[in-house]
Chain A
Amino acid sequence: MSIGINWLKYSSPQAFYPLAGRLIPWFACAAVALMGVGLYMGFFVAPTDFQQGEAYRIIFVHVPAAWMSMFLYVVMAVWAGIGMGLNARLSFMMAQAIAPTGAMFTFLALLTGAMWGKPTWGAWWVWDARLTSELILLFQYAGVMLLRTSIDDVRRADRASAVFALVGVVNVPIIYFSVQWWNTLHQGASVSMATGSKMASTMLTAMLLMTVAFWLYSIAVILARVRCVMIERESLPVWNDDEKPAVIQEVVEAR
């Protein structure tokens, strides 16, 4: 399919901008459609859980959101790494555009986790291993975004937040492991988010549909945001290529 298309051409922001504009509606429409089907299946078709009743249905949002939050962090770090390695502006812009969406999904996962926790465990917040690592992931997203906004120079902001994103991606699994370790050490609040071993096939279908919908949504939103980032940066006079003769060189001749 990709034969004959010069993909590299789209690595420059100028070429990518219109492409992104054309792609956004498709992804957005597909996301809305799939989300509609997924939510319908999750809320009306999937059977009621015999232990948790109707409250469990929040997992159709919660689990895909949690997956997306971690996945997007890795994607952000990959773009950051490409940006550092190849010094590619577009990669840094992508990393910048991904962070808010990732943070949004992290927040959504925490929120739905709390909403699920209240009827299930009787508390809005339990120091469950997964919830805790989600919380720390949210802090890391916040760190990436705060570091970017505190640095005025775009180039430095790009590169500094890229380094932090990369450091964070090494840390996420360590944090996840350590929190789980900590959770088993403190037996008191041992609760698991895992829903029973068996999952009805409609449940699984609904969850997968929602996951794909979140993917498409992320792509649409990130493309829209990366276009905003481009406009923001492109308005800088640096990009106006009206070259002025900046240098006059005089070589003083030998007497």
Chain B
Amino acid sequence: MSGSSMWEAVSGIIRRDLLLAMRRRSDAAMSVFFLVIVVSLFPLGVGPEPAVLRIIGPGVLWVAALLACLLSLGRVFTADYLDGVLEQMVLIPQPLALLVGGKVLAHWVISGFPIVLLSPLLGLQFGLSGESLGVLVMSLLLGTPTLSMIGAIGAALVLGVRGSGLLVALLVLPLYVPVLIFGAGAVTSSMAGIGGEANLSLLGACLVLSLFLAPWATAAALRIALE
């Protein structure tokens, strides 16, 4: 009974968030557009040399994906904070961390997953080959949920704080470093012929760790924000 009502609340919030995203499709599309534009700027800045682009490609794609995730963080809790739904969430008779996990999952589906889907196309722009493209998709598939999980902590900490958009970037970006290193490293090493498995498994470890720890920290931060 307790398990099913817990699931009810979590799945309810996921469904509601997805429904809201469907009603506001342009919001979700924005981070994808941002990604495409940022990635397209690099060849313009660095020059169209294919050899150079191939070297910087994994890093550029990963940094751009990271920034796109960062920009979407404002949407995780802000609307709910402003209209009072967040108060109701904190007062549910289930552990808040589970609900937070559900919300972050919904957020990833809306703004992280499209990035993963789009990445092979962008990888082609940088001359990545078949196997590296696969590794790129895998690395983003493992890495972007971690980014959402870590980012949610920052988003919850800065709720209602002045200058929160910039502040969340300053808080969260240092925490993103390991994911960036393992993610871009996976693609780079697969291009170098070493294979990206080691980096991918480290990314997986980061994901598991963040799935366990981040929701609790986020829940604590939300409670603090609502005091």
Contacts and interface: CB of A to CB of B under 8 A. Distances in A.
Asked if A and B form a direct contact in the complex, defined as CB atoms under 8 angstroms apart, the reply is yes
Interface of A: 84, 136, 139-140, 142-143, 146-147, 150-151, 153, 155-156, 159-160, 163-164, 166-168, 170-171, 174-175, 177-179, 181-182, 185
Contact of B157 (A139, A147, A175, A177): A147
Interface of B: 153-154, 157-158, 161-164, 167, 170-171, 173-175, 177-178, 181-182, 185, 188-189, 202, 206, 209, 213, 217, 220-221, 224-225, 227
B220 A163 contact: yes
A71 B213 CA distance: 23
Nearest to B218: A163
Contacts of A175: 174, 177-178
B59 to A, nearest CB: 11
Interface of A is mostly: helix
B27 to A, nearest CB: 25
A146 B185 contact: no
Contact of A167 (B162, B163, B175): B175
A156 B182 CA distance: 34
Contacts of A182: 181, 185
A155 B223 CA distance: 12
Interface of B is mostly: helix
Nearest to B214: A167
Given A160-B225, A163-B217, A143 B163 contact: no
B224 A142 contact: no
A143 B224 contact: no
Contact of A178 (B162, B177, B189): B177
A146 B167 contact: yes
Contacts, number: 80
A146 B170 contact: yes
Given A147-B157, A163-B217, A140 B188 contact: no
B170 A139 contact: yes
B167 A163 contact: no
Contacts of A174: 178, 206, 209
Given A139-B174, A143-B170, A175-B178, A167 B153 contact: yes
B188 A185 contact: yes
B167 A150 contact: yes
Given A136-B174, A150-B162, A181 B227 contact: no
A160 B206 CA distance: 23
A44 to B, nearest CB: 39
A143 B177 contact: no
18 contacts: A143-B174, A147-B161, A147-B167, A151-B161, A156-B227, A159-B224, A164-B154, A167-B153, A170-B213, A171-B175, A175-B174, A175-B178, A178-B177, A178-B181, A178-B182, A178-B202, A181-B185, A185-B185
B158 A139 contact: no
B177 A163 contact: no
A177 B198 CA distance: 14
Contacts of A84: 220
Nearest to B189: A185
Nearest to A142: B170
A179 B180 CA distance: 10
B156 to A, nearest CB: 9
Given A150-B158, A156-B224, A163 B153 contact: yes
Given A174-B206, A178-B177, A182-B185, A156 B225 contact: yes
Contacts of B175: 167-168, 171
Contacts of B163: 150
Contact of A163 (B157, B173, B206): B157
- Return the 4 tightest CB-CB contacts between A and B, nearest first: A178-B178, A139-B174, A182-B181, A159-B224
A182 B186 CA distance: 10
Contacts of A171: 174-175, 178
A168 B174 CA distance: 9
A150 B174 contact: no
Nearest to B157: A160
